[in-house]
């Protein structure tokens, strides 16, 4: 009998551990005002170590539709910035987005680091190459299936279960705080893309393209609030 069948918790750890570690360290960084110039790289290092030691067997390496996935990523990027471009900076200060529950659309990076190109490169690489894998393993690789069946590996990737689909979309939106509206749109699109492709690697590609373009947009325009 396969190891994960005898110990189903091991499979969950492979999908959840990088996300849990990344989020826990992010919370600690903000709560204790730890210096981002060294703590953010430490976060990436811990996450990459977990990829190798814990999650290596579940990280998909081959997208079935890389060009289409890239187009999906571009579309999500455009959706992400559209409200602010169309309605101006005041849009994010409406009480629906700027409140005690969602927080405010403001970058947590100290002003000095915005001119530190070494840190900016590390932050861009983290957003583009690490965060998409962390989030897709957790949200669509694990939670989308776990909500359908506790022995989640028995649920095929991309199976459409309405309750799980919409729950994950809403939770994914809430993760993005004051950007919950575009986060909801992104969650729906990424969920749909998994249902369509049945391949988590395609969602990782789409997510990576979105984050990569958003990082370039932040650096080019100085709209640092997108990097919460």
For the chain, the domain total comes to 1
Beta bridge partners of 103: 99
Measured distance CA(213)–CA(63) in Å, rounded: 19
pLDDT given at position 215: 97
Q: CB under 8 Å to 86, separation ≥6 — which residues?
A: none
Measured CA to CA in angstroms, residue 194 lies from 64, 69, 165, 178 at distances of 11, 10, 10, 25
Q: What are phi and psi of 103, to 5 degrees?
A: 85, -165
Tokens in use for 91? Answer: 């849009």
As a whole number of angstroms, the distance between CA 43 and CA 192 comes to 30
Q: What is the pLDDT of residue 9?
A: 65
Question: In Å, how far are 9, 54, 123 from 45, measured between CA atoms?
Answer: 24, 14, 12
Taking phi over 0 as left and psi of -120 to 50 as alpha, with beta for the rest, 34 belongs to beta
The pLDDT of 69-88, averaged and rounded, is 97
Domain-located, residue 58 = no
pLDDT at 145 over 70: yes
Is there a domain that residue 203 lies in? yes
CA dihedral 175, 209, 20, 163 (to 10 degrees): 60
* Digit-coded pLDDT (tens) for 176-206: 999 999 999 999 999 999 999 999 999 999 9
Of 169, 177, 164, 166, which is closest to residue 228 (Cα–Cα)?
177
Q: Is residue 107 part of a domain?
A: yes
Residue 1 lies in a domain: no
In a domain, 193, yes or no: yes
Q: How many CB atoms lie within 10 A of CB 23?
A: 15
Range(s) of the domain holding residue 213: 64-226
| 36 within domain boundaries | no
In a domain, residue 24? The reply is no
Look at residue 52 and tell me if it is in a domain.
Answer: no
Please give the share of the chain, as a percent, with pLDDT higher than 90.
89
Mean pLDDT to the nearest integer, 108-114: 83
The DSSP output letter for 199 is -
Q: Predicted confidence band at 45 (pLDDT cuts at 50, 70, 90)?
A: very high
Reported for 5-10, long-range contacts at CB under 8 A and 24+ positions apart, including other chains, are: 8/150, 8/151, 8/153
pLDDT tens-digit profile of 117-136? 999 999 999 999 999 999 99
């Amino acid at each position: 009998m396969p190891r994960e069948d005898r110990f189903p918790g091991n499979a969950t750890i492979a999908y959840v551990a990088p996300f849990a570690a990344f989020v826990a360290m992010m919370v600690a960084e903000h709560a204790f005002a730890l210096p981002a110039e060294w703590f953010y790289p430490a976060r990436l290092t811990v996450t990459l170590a977990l990829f190798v030691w814990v999650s290596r067997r579940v990280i998909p390496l081959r997208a079935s539709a890389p060009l289409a996935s890239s187009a999906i990523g571009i579309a999500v990027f455009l959706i992400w910035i559209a409200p602010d471009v169309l309605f101006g900076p005041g849009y994010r200060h409406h009480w629906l987005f700027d409140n005690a529950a969602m927080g405010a659309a403001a970058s947590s990076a100290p002003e000095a680091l915005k001119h530190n190109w070494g840190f900016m490169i590390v932050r861009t690489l983290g957003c583009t190459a690490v965060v998409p894998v962390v989030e897709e393993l957790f949200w669509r690789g694990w939670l989308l299936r776990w909500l359908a069946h506790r022995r989640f590996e028995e649920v095929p990737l991309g199976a459409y279960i309405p309750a799980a689909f919409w729950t994950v979309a809403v939770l994914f939106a809430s993760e993005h705080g004051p950007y919950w509206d575009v986060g909801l749109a992104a969650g729906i699109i990424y969920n749909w893309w998994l249902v369509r492709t049945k391949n988590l690697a395609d969602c990782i590609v789409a997510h990576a393209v979105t984050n990569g373009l958003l990082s370039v947009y932040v650096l080019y325009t100085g709209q640092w609030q997108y990097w919460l």
